Amino acid sequence: MKRLIVLAVALAALGLFLAGCGEEKAGEKVLKVGTMSPLTGPYAADGNDIRQGAEIAVEVFKEAGGIEGFTNIEVIPQDTACDPKQAVAAANKLINDQVSAVVGAYCSSSTIPSSETLAEENIIMLTPASTSPKVTERGLPYMFRTCGRDDHQAPAAVKFMKEVEDVKTIFIVDDKTTYSQGLAEGVATAAKAVGIEVLEHDHVNQGDKDYSAVLTKVKSANPDLFYISLQNSATGALMVIQAKRMGIDAILMGQDAVYHPQLMEIAKSDSEGMYCTFGAIDKDAPKYKEFLSKYKEKTGNEPGAYSAYAFDSATAYLMAVKEAGTSDPAKVREALLKIDFTGASKQVKYQENGDSGSNYTVYKITDGKFVPYWNSLTGEKY
């Protein structure tokens, strides 16, 4: 009897699975957009923000009447877990699903290998979050980037330290990812160049929860500024809490991966006064307001750091397809390079190499919110 029940359940589950396949009807043309981001693992928060951002862009397009020539627009999310192997597998899965473009990935270390796989099939990739310079420096024709670059972020942060805070000594900690370490090294180099002394550049491991040892070092080194380059806002929050508890009174500064509402949610008042570099977002812009209300309506959450970039990446692609009237990659690329629009995150204008320029701003956490504090392009306070 027991076996029969188990068998019946297994068959029912199989039936459900089979019913899920074979939905596609012949003759219909569906525009398929894939997303690649870490939906599980330590970076799942940012990864889900990216997926939702892209989904909302598609929804906005559908509500506006869709794209001529296509019966539907579909989003196919894939999980990369910030792992290069899984990212390549996800890219292959999306190729099998016949997507014409991919929004993603999050970690530069998974964007770079998966973009090679996608490039073989001439699939357009627009990354909302990978800031490593290498992403657009390999000459891939279909690689685009909506966010900024690390080699712009590091000098912007150092310029702020020197000009605004008159910092003499800094202590740097990173967590050894391609992204965080690269950025931290960029900051160290830029700092030395302007005469700021780097007291120490230490590393922690991804997934650590206890930073007491390294923070004790920071405390005894007593730097003017403590630069936190971690790949995850939740671990960033842990470091901030522990730093405050240890009585470190240096200026705290983080970067774009730490920039996330989660930081204040976890660190609460301990994060007050901390600085973070992130692309400037004009929260009064109509496009941002439209995005924000849609995002809240659909997800019930505040948008995360990269939601707006993902929204803009998907929007730019859909606009280009509409403009070109086809999903043919060469024609869409041409249209993408012509596009110039005010998105939710920034003015989106792709350059020949796929970059769209950086506009890093220093934000200061005030009353539990990221408040724009200093503009790296103009060198002025807001």
DSSP string, 72-96: EEEEEEEE-TT-HHHHHHHHHHHHH
Structure tokens at 297: 């309506």
Residue type for 288, please? Y
Among positions 256-285, residues that touch another protein (CB under 8 A) are 262, 265-270
> Quick check: 106 and 131 in contact, CB under 8 A?
no
Question: CB of 112: closest distance to another protein in angstroms?
Answer: 22
Contacts with 161 (C-beta within 8 Å, 6 or more apart), sequence order = 167, 170, 191, 196, 225, 253
Q: Is 80 exposed, middle or buried (0-12, 13-18, 19+ CB in 10 A)?
A: buried
Residue 216 interacts with another protein (CB under 8 A): yes or no: yes
Structure tokens at 170: 């800094």
- Which is nearer to another protein, 156 or 252 (by Cβ)? 252
> Quick check: 119 and 140 in contact, CB under 8 A?
yes
Among positions 149-178, residues that touch another protein (CB under 8 A) are 173, 176
Q: Which stretch binds another protein (CB under 8 A): 133-141, 153-161, 230-238, 316-324?
A: 230-238
Strand residues in the chain grouped as ranges (E): 30-37, 72-79, 101-104, 124-127, 143-145, 169-174, 197-203, 225-229, 251-254, 275-279, 341-342, 347-348, 360-366, 369-375, 380-381
- Which is nearer to another protein, 56 or 81 (by Cβ)? 81
How many residues are present in the chain? 382
Residue 318 interacts with another protein (CB under 8 A): yes or no: no
Question: CB of 147: closest distance to another protein in angstroms?
Answer: 21
Question: CB of 295: closest distance to another protein in angstroms?
Answer: 15
25: phi then psi, degrees, rounded to nearest 5: -95, 150
Q: Which stretch binds another protein (CB under 8 A): 17-25, 138-146, 233-241, 328-336?
A: 233-241
Of 25, 247, 378, 380, the one binding another protein by CB under 8 A: 247
Q: Which stretch binds another protein (CB under 8 A): 109-117, 126-134, 187-195, 206-214?
A: 206-214
- Which is nearer to another protein, 194 or 213 (by Cβ)? 213
Question: CB of 217: closest distance to another protein in angstroms?
Answer: 6
Among positions 30-49, residues that touch another protein (CB under 8 A) are 39-42, 44-45, 48
Q: Which strand ranges, in their side-by-side order, compose the sheet holding 30-37?
A: 72-79, 30-37, 101-104, 124-127, 143-145
Residue 224 interacts with another protein (CB under 8 A): yes or no: no
- Which is nearer to another protein, 97 or 210 (by Cβ)? 210
143: phi then psi, degrees, rounded to nearest 5: -100, 120
Question: CB of 40: closest distance to another protein in angstroms?
Answer: 7
Give the DSSP letter of residue 109.
H
- Which is nearer to another protein, 52 or 115 (by Cβ)? 52
**Burial letters for 296-312: b for 16+ Cβ neighbours within 10 Å, e otherwise?**
eeebeeebbbbbbbbbb
Question: CB of 174: closest distance to another protein in angstroms?
Answer: 9
Question: CB of 200: closest distance to another protein in angstroms?
Answer: 9
Residue 204 interacts with another protein (CB under 8 A): yes or no: yes
Residue 234 interacts with another protein (CB under 8 A): yes or no: yes
Q: Which stretch binds another protein (CB under 8 A): 137-145, 200-208, 251-259, 353-361?
A: 200-208
- Which is nearer to another protein, 116 or 208 (by Cβ)? 208
Q: Where are the alpha helices (DSSP H) in 198-277?
A: 212-221, 233-245, 261-267
Question: CB of 68: closest distance to another protein in angstroms?
Answer: 37
Residue 246 interacts with another protein (CB under 8 A): yes or no: yes
Q: Is 252 helix (H, G, I), strand (E, B) or coil?
A: strand
> Comparing C-alpha atoms, which of 82, 103, 81, 84 is closest to residue 94?
103
Q: Which residues bind another protein (CB under 8 A)?
A: 39-42, 44-45, 48, 173, 176, 202-205, 207-214, 216-217, 219-220, 234, 237-238, 241-242, 245-247, 262, 265-270
